[in-house]
A = this chain, B = another copy of it.
Amino acid sequence: MTDPARQPRRLEIRQQNETLILQAAEKVFAEAGFGGATMQLIADLAGLPKANLHYYFATKEDLYRRVVQNIFEIWLNAAQSMDDAPGPVEGIGAYIDAKMDISRRHPNGSKVWASEVMHGAPVIQDYLETTLRDWTTDRAALIQRWIDAGQMRPVNPEHLLYMLWATTQHYADFGHQIETLNGGKPLSDAQWREAKDQVKSMILRGIGALP
- A193-208 residues with Cβ-Cβ distance < 8 A to B are 194-195, 198-199, 201-208
Known A167-B166, A167-B167, A174-B166; judge A199-B159 contact (CB<8 A): yes
Task: Kindly provide the distance from the CB of A148 to the nearest chain B CB, expressed in whole angstroms.
Answer: 18
Please state the number of chain copies in the assembly. 2
Q: Report whether B35 and A33 are in contact in the complex, using a CB–CB cutoff of 8 Å.
A: yes
A155 proximity list for chain B (CB < 8 A): 198, 201-202
Binds B, one of A5-13, A45-53, A75-83, A111-119: A111-119
Question: Residues of A within 8 Å of B, CB-based: how many?
Answer: 55
Q: Report whether B163 and A117 are in contact in the complex, using a CB–CB cutoff of 8 Å.
A: no
A165 in the interface (beta carbon within 8 A): yes
CA distance A170 to B110 in the complex (A): 14
CA distance A33 to B30 in the complex (A): 12
A61 in the interface (beta carbon within 8 A): no
Known A202-B203, A203-B206; judge A33-B162 contact (CB<8 A): no
Task: Kindly provide the distance from the CB of A16 to the nearest chain B CB, expressed in whole angstroms.
Answer: 29
User: What are 27 A-B pairs with beta-carbon distances under 8 A?
Assistant: A30-B118, A32-B119, A33-B35, A33-B119, A34-B35, A36-B119, A114-B118, A117-B173, A117-B176, A121-B176, A128-B180, A129-B180, A132-B177, A155-B198, A158-B181, A159-B195, A159-B198, A160-B202, A162-B167, A165-B170, A165-B174, A166-B166, A166-B169, A166-B170, A167-B167, A201-B206, A205-B206
A121-B180, A132-B177 given; 13 more Cβ-contact pairs under 8 Å: A31-B120, A32-B35, A117-B174, A117-B177, A118-B174, A118-B176, A128-B177, A129-B180, A155-B198, A162-B174, A162-B178, A165-B174, A205-B206
